[in-house]
Structure 1
Amino acid sequence: MEVPAALSAREQKLVLFILALSSFMASLDSTIVNISLPTIAESFHIPMSEVSWVAMSYLLVLSGLLLVFGKLGDMHGFKKIFIAGFAVFTIGSLLCGLSGSIDALIGSRFVQGIGAAALEAIGPAMIAIYLPKEIRGKALGILATVISVGIAAGPIIGGLLTQYVSWHWIFFINVPIGICAVLLGMKCIPQDRHPVKTGAFDYPGAVVFFFALATLLWPIDEGLSLGWTSPAIIGSFCVSAILWVLFVFRETRCNDPLCDFDLFKNKNFLAASLAAAAMMLAFAGVQYLLPFFFEGVMGYQVYVAGLLLAVPSFALMVLGPISGSLSDKIGSRVLATGAAVFAAVAFFLISLFTEQTGILFIAGTLLCVGIALGVFFPPNMNQILGQSKKDEEGLGSSIMTTMKNVGETVGIALMGTIALFTVVTNKNFNPNTPVAQIPMEIIVEGFAVAFIAAAVIAVIAAVLSAVAEDNPR
């Protein structure tokens, strides 16, 4: 994608504003849903493993289509994809709010995920295209701040709506925001002057990638319910492995691949991308489990749990722009590595939570999580985007976002499985037992093991960040 003339300062601000609005909408939706999952599970009388698909269905489609929309953005221009994504996301939100069954809700979340994939795939790439390199880190920091505002507002708004109105309204709230965003995007985003990258679209590669991911996530989430040695679980893992091999084989031999694997030959790009995936895996798993812990173990009301889950975002608001600007000046490697180590410490402290833990200690620990994430993600994104090839910014951006979202999706499935596995093996509970029927001390034990696993994964993210050298393009 080429823009022949640099945008004016005003045009740059307009583009950044609409991108910030999309980031706010996506981040608001993720956290506003998580805080309501225990209530949704109770409403439909379903176990934790089943309600997790309200989050995972969205993330599965999001992760599976990011490469698709990144490639389409490079081929046909960013504006059309971006505006269409907003429209589909808004329609999906309306359908979610109208859902009267768990199956309808999960299906509507698939629709939401399609729209979100279009938004997230090319958002960072539009920064790389329209904004000069000298302020790219600062712009990414601003986006991190906006995302943190959405993350902070999500649990608070979601908790209040769920507590005093209905969980359906956590989705209806997206509709007016989405309508405004579509109108603003049509007016504010510049027309694609030279869309651009020619070639055929790799539809077979897109299909194989989606089902490779789906057949990996399903057995991770359902292994306890069906049995890890059941034919369905083993078969799904085998199918997933075969599909991943086919995907790599296809992409390395296709004339116009969906994913350019040459990028992964760059050690810095690969290490930074894996670090982002690892950090999102750890954080998403913790975020998924904490509402169940706060409401099931601590006995907090939904809005109180929402306030606690908003704590990390306040640190993100402050530190996102600062960290992004620092990465422009001193590089990203030291910042990202140190932040990942700090995150590991914070996740370990969360593993010490019990039903007697004071609320001030809980809030302080969650603040440390926010500090770690606020310092980590802007320089990490700067590391990754700096390695993208010219005219493939959409692809580089979508690969980066895909890695993070795959990490997030796997994190929800994996951490939930770890927590339930501890419960099942220690006390021989049925994995399909509703959370409300599991004794409190057993839940605490399972959550602690999962949170320690998150700390270990954050250490891996630190090692990967240390490997990735600074080499901005």
Structure 2
Amino acid sequence: MNSRALDSGRPAVNGPAVKAVICLGAFLSNLSAGMFNIALVDISADLGIPVASAQWVVSIYLLVISVLLPVMGRLGDIRGRRRVHNAGLFAFALGALGCALAGNAAMLLFFRVIQGIGASMYQATNMALIVSVFPQEQRGRALGLMSTFVAAGSMAGPALGGFLLQWFSWESSFWLLAAVAAAVAVLAQRWIPRDTEAAGGRLDLGAALWFAACLSTLMVAIDLGGRTSFASLPVLLLLGASAATAAAYAVKLRHARRGGGAAASAGGLLFAGRDVVLGIVITVVTYMAAFAAQLALPAVLRLAGAEPAWVGLIMIGYPLALVVTAPLGGSLADRKGPLGILAAGLTLMSVTLLALGLAAPALGTAAIALPVVLLGCAMGMITSPNTSIVMGMAPKEQLGMVSSVLALFRNIGMMFGTAAGGLVIGGESAGRGGSYAAVFLVCAACVGLACLWLLQTFRGSGRKRLREQAH
């Protein structure tokens, strides 16, 4: 496709090139999140640190991204989304290069923080760039493609990291990330058009610090609870501290809604209409369910005697199904409206999770491939329509903030799903199969309730109103 104007009144833009560089950035950030799980033992041996300490190579990256997403989203609204997005790619490349050259654990974690800062900058602005650059009839397809790259990066991380570790070293993963990110950053500078509007205003760093304290204590509690016990005193204290800071943060947001800073923008979202809240809830519960399945099912298959290669072949059905259905779901949402395809995806996911909770232990290793594929199809039907609804309701001057909040709650859903999957693995290893059924049935109930909430919310609104809101 030749360069052309994507919308009247806008300069000519190379649509496929813009989508490619934005999607590659989304792919890299999620690829980097999962590449090093398999290398923690090697990192601990090479740097002379315990494996539990090496785990922070993964944890600190996710924590930095989650903490900074709202700040970077607001910064994109103030300073320009293109500028923040592209600077994030360069920072990510610099962080990866520093990690590859790090000679000790402190330097490795320092540059991992730099890498997380960069990833937060372009994660917080990529959806907003798509919404601002592409016209309404192309938006759902573009968002669906980006969702595909997000999922593909998450799933490809462990496999690619394992390959590089086996044939080269764990440092080679950082070298690869640095080289690709630097190339994508140069292309982004060339192809992504300059912003046509900026909101101005200021950052509320006080609110950002409250939010950082809330999320940091929550993530540490979940990480510690997964490795020890959620009923232990340290975990309970951390959860209490997180709840207390969350309450204080909510009070601050209410008082800041009349201001113009990050807290006001976040507050406008968190206290907005139930349509936006519903979209955020759908994001959390679906990513939680999908990641719980992706972590738990391989363990169940291995305990049933399946070979590792066969397990990997079965689990690859999830990203392959999502790659096919996400663009189709986005295109269908563009033509028919997002409500129908979103409700169908939620229903399919709930039914599949219910079947997994009740029947998966009795299924053969080949038969379990079907629910894995169905989960991928359901996720592909959910992500783009849900994103279109929420982003379509946001004012143009707050697109970056909304984009960052959606990315934040996607990460929170992944975090909860990882913790839930860990509970399944621990229960199965100890011979307590009840944890498996409980986790999947709870996930099925959460997704099913979200679907009922969706239908109830939009029952009297009609497809025309929904389509207008989504665009």
Q: What interval of TM-score do these two structures reach, taking the shorter chain for normalisation?
A: 0.7 to 0.9
Alignment correspondent of 1:401: 407
Alignment correspondent of 2:447: 458
Alignment correspondent of 1:62: 65
Alignment correspondent of 1:181: 184
15-24 or 72-81: bigger deviation: 15-24
Residue 224 of structure 2 aligns to a residue in which SS?
Answer: helix
Distance 1:145 1:79, change over 3 A: same
Query: Is residue 82–residue 129 contact of structure 2 (8 Å, CA) maintained in 1?
Result: no
Per-residue deviation, 1:231: 4.5
Write out per-residue CA displacement over residues 84-114 of structure 1, whole angstroms, 9 at most, x where no aligned residue.
2112222333444556787776665443322
Counterpart Cα distance in 2 of 1:178 and 1:78: 18
Alignment correspondent of 2:461: none
67-76 or 50-59: bigger deviation: 50-59
* C-alpha RMSD over aligned residues: 3.4
Distance 1:158 1:226, change over 3 A: closer
Query: Is residue 34–residue 291 contact of structure 1 (8 Å, CA) maintained in 2?
Result: no
Distance 1:65 1:100, change over 3 A: same
Per-residue deviation, 1:77: 0.5
Per-residue deviation, 1:148: 4.5
Distance 1:299 1:386, change over 3 A: same
Counterpart Cα distance in 1 of 2:20 and 2:367: 36
Distance 1:95 1:443, change over 3 A: farther
Alignment correspondent of 2:277: 270
Alignment correspondent of 1:308: 314
Q: Name the amino acid aligned to 1:120.
A: Q
Distance 1:369 1:230, change over 3 A: closer
Query: Is residue 72–residue 124 contact of structure 2 (8 Å, CA) maintained in 1?
Result: yes
Per-residue deviation, 1:81: 0.8
Alignment correspondent of 2:201: 199
Counterpart Cα distance in 2 of 1:53 and 1:216: 15
Counterpart Cα distance in 2 of 1:191 and 1:162: 39
Distance 1:129 1:277, change over 3 A: same
Counterpart Cα distance in 2 of 1:363 and 1:145: 20
Per-residue deviation, 1:364: 2.3
Write out per-residue CA displacement over residues 145-181 of structure 1, whole angstroms, 9 at most, x where no aligned residue.
3334444544543343344444444443212211111
TM-score (norm 2): 0.83
Per-residue deviation, 1:320: 1.2
Alignment correspondent of 2:394: 388
Matches within 5 A, 1:343-422: 343-351=349-357, 352-354=359-361, 358-417=364-423, 419-420=425-426, 422=427
Alignment correspondent of 1:472: 470
Query: Is residue 64–residue 209 contact of structure 1 (8 Å, CA) maintained in 2?
Result: yes
Alignment correspondent of 2:248: 246
Distance 1:306 1:32, change over 3 A: farther
User: Does 2:164 align with 1:161?
Assistant: yes
Per-residue deviation, 1:297: 6.2
- Quote the sequence identity (%): 26
- Which residue, out of 69, 74, 82, partners 1:71? 74
User: Does 2:261 align with 1:257?
Assistant: yes
Alignment correspondent of 1:435: none
Per-residue deviation, 1:414: 4.1
Write out per-residue CA displacement over residues 241-298 of structure 1, whole angstroms, 9 at most, x where no aligned residue.
2211221222222322313423332111111111111111222233334455556764
Query: Is residue 38–residue 161 contact of structure 2 (8 Å, CA) maintained in 1?
Result: yes
Counterpart Cα distance in 1 of 2:210 and 2:440: 33
Write out per-residue CA displacement over residues 181-232 of structure 1, whole angstroms, 9 at most, x where no aligned residue.
11111111223354x2222210111111011011122223323666556553
Q: Name the amino acid aligned to 1:185.
A: A
Higher relative contact order (CA 8 A, sep 6+): 1
Q: Name the amino acid aligned to 1:442.
A: G
